[in-house]
Structure 1
Amino acid sequence: MLVGREAELHTLVSAVTAAPAVILLEGEAGVGKTRLVTEMLRSQELAGRAVLVGQCQQLREPFPYGVLLDALRTAGDHLSPGTLGPETGALRPYLPEVTALPPAPEPLGDPRAERHRLFRAIRALLRALDGALLVVEDVHWADDGSRELLRLLMADPPPSLAVLITYRGEERPGGLPLGGAFRPAPGVASALIHLDPLGTDEVRRLACVLLGEQPVSLEFAVKLHERTAGIPFVVEETLRTVHTADDELLDELEVPVLLREAMAQRLAGLPLPARRLADAAAVLGVPADVELLAEVAALLPERAVPALARLADGAVLLEQDGGRYDFRHTLARQAVYRSVAGPDRRALHLRCVRVLSRREPKPLLALAEHSRLAGAVTEWVHYGEAAADRAAEVGDPATATRLLRRLLDEPALARHDVDRLAVKFSQGASNGLAQHEVAAALERLLSDHRLSESCRGEVRLGLGMLLIRQYGGIAAGRMEIAQACDELAERPALALKAKSVLALPFVGSASVAEHLRWMAEVDTEVAASTDRLVRTTMLASTTGSRLHLGDPVAWAQIDQLPATVGSPAEQRQLARAHCNLADACAWTGHFDRAQGFLRSGIQLAADCGAPFVVGTARATQAHLDWLTGEWTGLEERCTRLLDEYRDLVPVAGELSLVLGSLAVARGEWDSATARFAEAGVGDPDNAIAPVALAAFGGTVRMLLARDQIAEAIGAADRGLALLRQKNVWSWAGELVPPAVDAYCRAGRQRAAAEALDQLHRALTDRDAPHARAALAEAAGILAQHQSSPAAAVERLDDARRRYERLPAPYPAALVTERLLGLRPDDPERYAALAEEFERLGAARDGARCRHVLRVGGAVTPSRRGRRGYGNELSPRERDVARLVAAGRTNREIAEVLFLSRRTVEQHVAGVLRKLGARSRAELHENPPDA
């Protein structure tokens, strides 16, 4: 009988039947997650549906996607002939049981490309299973590949699929159930169900059921709840021991080792062979067949079989699929494990090593763990390193990193082992989930006396590479990399890699002169190199860097990139080169070329399996969409990407910039402030420089829109100080015009003229179309404030044309609005401009234009006539709904949209009525779709 979970069961059944749906079921060990899932699967609502169940194991071998593939083994029972596309053939080697799969395609020869194809095949198979439910239990033990695949499936599941995962909150990798954040796509039902321990009344009901309807007093229930913490499994195990609702028996059980004592009592009456078999099962830690259990327990098969039967009869071990046996629950295994004496435990772990080492393929991770627990250091190092190597090869960096870190903590490790393992650890450290823990481990390594000087530089380089990708770590990371350059003097290939990172002009706040010094050293060494991979790797960094600087030489350097590649590694570097060039083109104003490099870069990255490169390219695409006015769905896309890449500063900063810029255009000041802080305004020394400069520009625009002139001046001063410190004026496009406007509005025209003159001189020999358009705009703003309308019109007209050629429609529209203020009233053009702002999604700017029309008394009837929206929200109501959902008051909404408070009140009432919301708070909790 399921006790105390009626509400959770109802929620769970409702959620899984509302496909597409994603459901997360969280709870501590023993709280009843599996029990609830079992009851859910028995419900009538799921009758006839394809249910695919995968179970993650604690001591798993590195096999990415293994739990997903296990779940799909029964898919063939639910498939109709001819329903599978050819792409699902990639699953045939993994799922021989599914006979409906088409033939397997030819191998691609690259693990990353194979992974991409496998992802597509799994998604296609799930799409073919109409109305399927995918259940993956104990996701906290899943491999990185399975977690990544689950994130992709749950972010945008096939239309008829429901995905349910269970996990222990206290064991989530990186603090997240899937190792990384995800956000379901619009239209996907989602639910998070947290199972808490039972209360006293529920424990009393459960005790009554388990004791065969014996009367259970409140006093007994209270004491039982105290001793079991309300965890159903512990309640059950306790009552299996005491057999009756006797307070005195409960008093005799020790707390908090209650479960261990209960299991010890259950095992005490068993014959010695059964006890030895139970001990072997506890030490093995994974489901095992009778042959393996007998070998570890050192029992002959004729003695092991009846002993196993006794364990099964007593529900100590349960038979699973495939004739394997395991404990009823992890807590039960732990209780038996702890009851084994220390010397006996070590001896059993050593037997596990000997037995498992004879199996093929060798379970390397299990061998490593048993060797460690047996105290066999030589075997622990051998198997641990081999398991880490295998994990890295198959794309499970978290397991590799964890193993290497634990090996390096071994005090008996020899110096040559420390060097070798430290280098491997530093090379793969940046790919794991627990980035900050890895950084701390690398710092400890650098102070380890066992580490030789020859390896110290490589470890330091790995630490620096890790730090520059973390919030607050760029300055420290650059210092570590610079020191590594000195330590790597006798290892020129690694030193060159370090120098190429220090040459990147956009990382941190160092002056461009320092970057150019490193770039010159890289250029010299690249020119002398005949290694194609080295040349492509270095050109991927330096060519984009020169383009960022607006250096015309960069275009000739691009021609040095190979048109074809000879290896997957070279293709990954070429993909990085194209994506870096796209990023540089976006920042300097070559938007069309940026799109071209993005297309080729993403294609190259997808073909060879370079997910990090794809991630940076997606951020560049988002920034480019902001610049070119492609704002439809941009906020939602950036939010999803930010959840996925939040720990990577180069990606997260750019996405935060786009979100902050969109918020300014809509008048969402609090959101804009927070996003710009994340983009680098709060800590420019540890930011991506062009991102921080643009964020300063967005901050100045926002403060000017709120008439906070003094604050705008402060932001302009800080932004220009960073720009002058970096001395890369090709990045000035989003900062200088609002800064000049702020200075002029504060009467500081000299400061405005100085910034303008410095930009003009800096762009003399630079190829930076965006900055040149900004120069013309800023010159027009200054002329306007200097009461030179003719000069202002000339320069602003030039700026508008330049923005339109980029194309950059939003700044072009802002310049057009400024021009209309200098020319005789033209209501038709103001109305058209308002429509242009609203088409882009710049609600506040459009409202400002319409406010100018209203104040001037102009009436501009729509050429299309006024449409009725019925029960749909009108464009203005959508703006109001979004601001209400953001927590803005009617007064604040009126200021943002240039409306009267009375008009806002009417709009709010209409929004609540049309959306069926009873209050503003309800709208805040459930905001409408954008």
Structure 2
Amino acid sequence: MSGTAPGSASGRRAGLGVPRLVGRVRDLSLLGRALDERPGPVVVAGEAGIGKSRLLAELLRQRPETALVAVCLPFREPYTLGPVVDAVRTLAGGVADLSLTGLAGALRPLFPEWADQLPPAPEPLPDAAAARHRLLRALVELIDALGVGLFAVEDAHWADETTLELLLFLCARRAHPRVVLTYRPEDVRPDSLLRRLVAQSGVTRLEPGPMDTAGTADLVSSMLGGEPVSAEFAAFLHGHTDGLPLAIEECVRLLYDRADLVWEDGAWLRRDLAELVVPPSIRDAVLERTSRLGPATGAVLAALAVLEGDQRPTLVAEVAGVSLDEAESGLAEAVAGGLLHEDRGSRVGFRHILAARTVYHALGGLERGRLHLRAGEALEREPVRRVAELARHFREAGDDGRWAVYAEQAADRAVSSGDPRTAFVLLLDVLTGRAARGAAVSRLVQRMPLYAAPGNAPLSELVAALREAADGELTPQERTEAAWQLARLMFHAGDVEAASAEMERIVPGLVRDRPAAAVRAMMMLARPLATAHPAAHHREWLERAGRLVAGPPDPVPEDRLSFLVDRADTLLVLGDPEGWTAARGLPADGTSPGEVLQQARGFANIGEAAMLWGRYGDARQRLDAAAALARRHQYLRLHDLVGATLAHLDWLTGARSAAVHWAASALDADEPVLRADALLLLGLDEAARGDHRQASERVRAAIAVGRPRGPADGSRDPSAVVARLAVAAGRPEEALAATEAAWRLVAAKELWLWAAEIAPLRIRALLATGRVAEARRAAAAFTAGTRGLDAPMAAAAGKLTAALLARAEGEPADAAGRFEEAGAAWAALPRPHDALLAREDAACCRLAAGERDRAVAALREVFDGLTSLGATGDADRVRRRLADEGVRIGGRAGRPGYGDRLSPRELDVVGLLVEGRTSAQIARVLGLSPRTVEKHVLSAMRKRNAPSRTALAVAVVESGDVPPPGNAPRPHLTTG
């Protein structure tokens, strides 16, 4: 279907050919060398129309390997692994002749047409991330079995997240197939995994530039049968197109269609340049060109624009509403005119997405709807139903019934593929678009993976849709179900007060109609969240849930274990020692996957509750057990969440390099709560180093990105961190404001265990502002509320508040002793940083009491301890205090005393270096300048006698100073 040489008898249009690849010899050579000589992925980046796809096509034409080419399309919501699935179908007609293991059974949801050729489907996994990981491993096995040597992805900025995870998975193997992709940087979403992929070390990046005037002349000449083009004409075109290859080509074709360029007597004749009018955009050029085409050609172009991608002529004819002969004639005209291309499978598609988008948006709304309906009905008759595409077509056609059906099927496939986010968005689209009504709304909400919601705004949209449905005509049972789903949604959206009121109202109906849901509702009411209800109120709901579970009918084992886990955890969060007895009584072994997941969740939740009590040894034991179970059974999301809790525990107990290493790796995590925890830890680290401005920015970012935490989260409550920063910076009023809401909540609920983190900070701030009587009342309330609890955290906080009050009352010697007791209590937890700060306060009281020698000796020890811990900002304060006493310690805190050991900051830098981060990336993560990062790298190289950065990375991993990349806690699937 392509054009012929000038002067051909086939007509005027045949005189204009598809341009050769011009001005890209060097780029093509660099790409080939990168694939032959470098192990990492190869990316081609640039704006639309710069020639990325043409460069990739030429590269693939020259390479000997079997290539799998996935083309990403600009769907409103990309369907899970769609580009890869289509590419595999194009490459292979079946898998019957391939050697596949049982793992390949996980591919059945993606390739239902091969069900009789694939192994049996494996047992479903209760964890979406684990299901996704298993699916990716199965897909890689299939790719290997097909002998794919090169995996190419076009327009990766439109790829779904699971496809990007597959790319990261393949890149991490450092083996075949090699990965090469094209993308537009300006169209990459801020949270896309593509940013992580293209920023990793070892990536070869190529950015083709626009054509110069000479290149413009060569490109035009290649379209005109090799005939020369005048410098004047080339300069004219270059000036109107900025050297963008696609724009040059479209302008030449338009000029040719207008007869502004004609071939007569063996030469190209051009009108006076002053008379030529070139449209200002590619869009206008495409529209003018298509307006000159015949009716059949216009019809097939419209059909292709609606279908998107490369399609068979028979399908195009059906959607266009023309005969196959008419369709083939129109397609041939469009291919000859350079608008379309034809692949080796005789499928046709637009040569560039800009042309497709132009044709699509030029259609009227009614015409688009008519074509989408035809496309949907035609695709319904296909042997394999592409349900995501069917949902899209029927949505655009306004056929709500079929849109909802196919969207639900597409969501099911997304969930089975381990892609809950896509499932959530597909169903959200149906519900907010009012394609589902009545009881169907509640049913769909119940099926939605709410944890995958990208923020609270979509949840608020769901609340509105469900409220509207609940006000409609429903049976009593349907109304109860709608109210139950509405209450669940409000809880997830953070509207706890309203959710609690709604849930209390519907519990009787749930007990009657859905006992299992009633237990879940009661347990949500038993959780002491951000309501003003006292602890006794929550305890009453916990007991009611227990009575319901104990009565007939017996719950399934998984539901019973879930209740027992939640009961033990809730008791501990309520400050009830009975929770420890309940925790010890939990079953040690699970049989089904669901029971094992509940067991792992129990270890994780009770470990986190143990941190609230200050039982750090117990917390680590349980969290390590949770991590081991999650790792063994591939509960990847749970593993990531446990990793965040362990990182906070590391921070508190002094393993700060490990905590910062985790935080740096989790900044790009998918889940907001993980990113918030990472930002909070980095803020704490920067505060300890004395950079309070940067620390405050990190904490503000954590509050903005994560779902809100409260005082029950202890050290992970942002208000406690804000107060700590404010106290350290000498801004007591700010500390009081930060803790006010949490303090009121604790007092209303009478859950003083929750105040262990903020009580000393608030009392310091009250004393600093002269509100001594209020400080005494606060301390008395906290002490009375935690009396009798075997909670080391509360005990240490109580000793510290007593010391603060003693100092305020002008009793330095007594205060010194109390601070020392507090320091010993913090050290026993252990929380070494807080212990050192308490000992610093004790030493200052000793100075005030006239015990200089004892105080100076203590301050020296505190200085050494803070320096070793990496808290150089605090150490500088102690150094200045010693200088005031005439005791000089050479240099700035943190620099002396390491010898051949790496300093804490050097360990932070080198840990990120081992991950493959560049100096610029390390600087961004740690809040340093690239020059400072380089200084730390050079210092570490000298200490390890390493001649290069690579040698340094090997040395620190072998020495055990830094864990290898594979052992680092993973913020999401793709780091493993």
TM-score w.r.t. the length of structure 2 is 0.72
**Structure 1 residues 260 and 701: alpha-carbon distance in aligned structure 2, compared to 1, 3 A threshold:** closer
CA contact (8 A) 1:837 1:846 kept: yes
- Is the aligned partner of 1:757 residue 2:780? yes
- Tell me what 2:663 maps to: 638
State the shift of 1:593 in Å.
Answer: 1.9
Aligned-partner residue type, residue 240 of structure 1:
R
**Structure 1 residues 913 and 448: alpha-carbon distance in aligned structure 2, compared to 1, 3 A threshold:** closer
CA contact (8 A) 1:776 1:798 kept: yes
- Pairing partner for 1:54 from 62, 70, 76: 70
- Pairing partner for 2:153 from 136, 145, 156: 136
CA contact (8 A) 1:466 1:477 kept: no
SS in 2 for 1:490: helix
1:199-598 equivalences in 2 (<5 Å): 213-215=228-230, 221=236, 225=240, 232-243=245-256, 244=261, 251=277, 258-264=284-290, 267-268=293-294, 272=296, 278=301, 280-290=303-313, 292-293=315-316, 312-320=335-343, 322-337=345-360, 349-374=372-397, 376=399, 378-408=401-431, 415=437, 418-425=438-445, 427-428=447-448, 430-432=450-452, 434-436=454-456, 438-446=458-466, 448=468, 451-452=472-473, 455=478, 465=488, 474=494, 476-480=495-499, 482-487=501-506, 489-492=508-511, 493-507=516-530, 512=535, 515-528=538-551, 530-531=554-555, 532-559=557-584, 561-565=586-590, 567-598=592-623
* Unpaired runs of at least 5, structure 1: 77-83, 97-102, 887-905, 917-927
- Pairing partner for 2:201 from 180, 188, 194: 188
State the shift of 1:123 in Å.
Answer: 8.0
CA contact (8 A) 2:65 2:148 kept: yes
**Structure 1 residues 92 and 523: alpha-carbon distance in aligned structure 2, compared to 1, 3 A threshold:** closer
- Name the % identity: 29
CA distance in 1, matches of 2:826, 2:422: 50
**Structure 1 residues 254 and 124: alpha-carbon distance in aligned structure 2, compared to 1, 3 A threshold:** closer
SS in 2 for 1:551: coil
**Structure 1 residues 445 and 909: alpha-carbon distance in aligned structure 2, compared to 1, 3 A threshold:** closer
State the shift of 1:667 in Å.
Answer: 0.7
Aligned-partner residue type, residue 561 of structure 2:
T
CA contact (8 A) 2:131 2:416 kept: no
CA distance in 2, matches of 1:216, 1:200: 8
State the shift of 1:624 in Å.
Answer: 1.0
CA contact (8 A) 1:880 1:907 kept: no
CA distance in 1, matches of 2:910, 2:497: 45
- Is the aligned partner of 1:146 residue 2:159? no
- Is the aligned partner of 1:737 residue 2:754? no
- Is the aligned partner of 1:844 residue 2:873? yes
Aligned-partner residue type, residue 510 of structure 2:
R
State the shift of 1:762 in Å.
Answer: 0.9
CA contact (8 A) 1:676 1:696 kept: no
- Is the aligned partner of 1:627 residue 2:667? no
CA distance in 2, matches of 1:147, 1:535: 38
- Pairing partner for 2:828 from 798, 805, 829: 805
SS in 2 for 1:359: coil
CA distance in 1, matches of 2:779, 2:630: 40
CA distance in 2, matches of 1:310, 1:880: 60
SS in 2 for 1:360: coil
CA contact (8 A) 1:145 1:396 kept: yes
Aligned-partner residue type, residue 505 of structure 2:
D
State the shift of 1:775 in Å.
Answer: 1.4
State the shift of 1:554 in Å.
Answer: 0.6
Aligned-partner residue type, residue 468 of structure 2:
D
- Is the aligned partner of 1:673 residue 2:696? yes
- Tell me what 2:751 maps to: 728
TM-score w.r.t. the length of structure 1 is 0.75
Aligned-partner residue type, residue 554 of structure 1:
G
Can you list the C-alpha shifts for 1:869-918, whole angstroms capped at 9, x where unaligned? 89x99779999999xx99xxxxxxxxxxxxxxxxxxx99998899899xx
Aligned-partner residue type, residue 600 of structure 1:
A
CA distance in 1, matches of 2:67, 2:798: 62
SS in 2 for 1:146: helix
State the shift of 1:599 in Å.
Answer: 2.6
CA distance in 2, matches of 1:363, 1:681: 38
Aligned-partner residue type, residue 547 of structure 1:
L
Aligned-partner residue type, residue 482 of structure 1:
A
Aligned-partner residue type, residue 230 of structure 2:
P
CA distance in 2, matches of 1:693, 1:724: 20
CA distance in 2, matches of 1:664, 1:161: 45
SS in 1 for 2:349: strand
Aligned-partner residue type, residue 509 of structure 2:
E
**Structure 1 residues 434 and 702: alpha-carbon distance in aligned structure 2, compared to 1, 3 A threshold:** closer
- Tell me what 2:797 maps to: 774
CA contact (8 A) 1:657 1:676 kept: yes
**Structure 1 residues 565 and 745: alpha-carbon distance in aligned structure 2, compared to 1, 3 A threshold:** same
SS in 2 for 1:54: strand
**Structure 1 residues 776 and 40: alpha-carbon distance in aligned structure 2, compared to 1, 3 A threshold:** farther
**Structure 1 residues 24 and 839: alpha-carbon distance in aligned structure 2, compared to 1, 3 A threshold:** farther
CA distance in 1, matches of 2:274, 2:456: 50
**Structure 1 residues 52 and 725: alpha-carbon distance in aligned structure 2, compared to 1, 3 A threshold:** farther
**Structure 1 residues 482 and 578: alpha-carbon distance in aligned structure 2, compared to 1, 3 A threshold:** farther
CA distance in 2, matches of 1:184, 1:629: 34
State the shift of 1:586 in Å.
Answer: 1.7
CA contact (8 A) 2:662 2:678 kept: no
**Structure 1 residues 208 and 575: alpha-carbon distance in aligned structure 2, compared to 1, 3 A threshold:** same
**Structure 1 residues 495 and 320: alpha-carbon distance in aligned structure 2, compared to 1, 3 A threshold:** farther
CA distance in 2, matches of 1:306, 1:633: 66
CA contact (8 A) 1:582 1:598 kept: yes
- Tell me what 1:110 maps to: 125
Can you list the C-alpha shifts for 1:416-469, whole angstroms capped at 9, x where unaligned? xx4314531454162556445523531441453674455566556656655655
- Tell me what 2:950 maps to: none
CA distance in 1, matches of 2:889, 2:629: 51
CA contact (8 A) 1:499 1:522 kept: yes
1:679-758 equivalences in 2 (<5 Å): 687=710, 689-691=712-714, 695-709=718-732, 711-712=734-735, 715=738, 720-745=743-768, 747-758=770-781
SS in 1 for 2:341: strand
* Unpaired runs of at least 5, structure 2: 1-19, 93-98, 112-117, 262-269, 912-918, 921-930, 942-952, 957-961, 963-976
CA contact (8 A) 2:48 2:184 kept: yes
CA distance in 2, matches of 1:533, 1:95: 29
SS in 1 for 2:611: helix
State the shift of 1:768 in Å.
Answer: 1.9
State the shift of 1:782 in Å.
Answer: 3.1
CA contact (8 A) 1:578 1:597 kept: yes
CA distance in 2, matches of 1:318, 1:584: 62
How many residues of Structure 1 are paired with residues of Structure 2 in the alignment? 861
Aligned-partner residue type, residue 573 of structure 1:
Q
State the shift of 1:239 in Å.
Answer: 2.0
State the shift of 1:665 in Å.
Answer: 1.1
Aligned-partner residue type, residue 258 of structure 1:
D
SS in 1 for 2:657: coil
- Tell me what 1:900 maps to: none
CA distance in 2, matches of 1:562, 1:380: 45
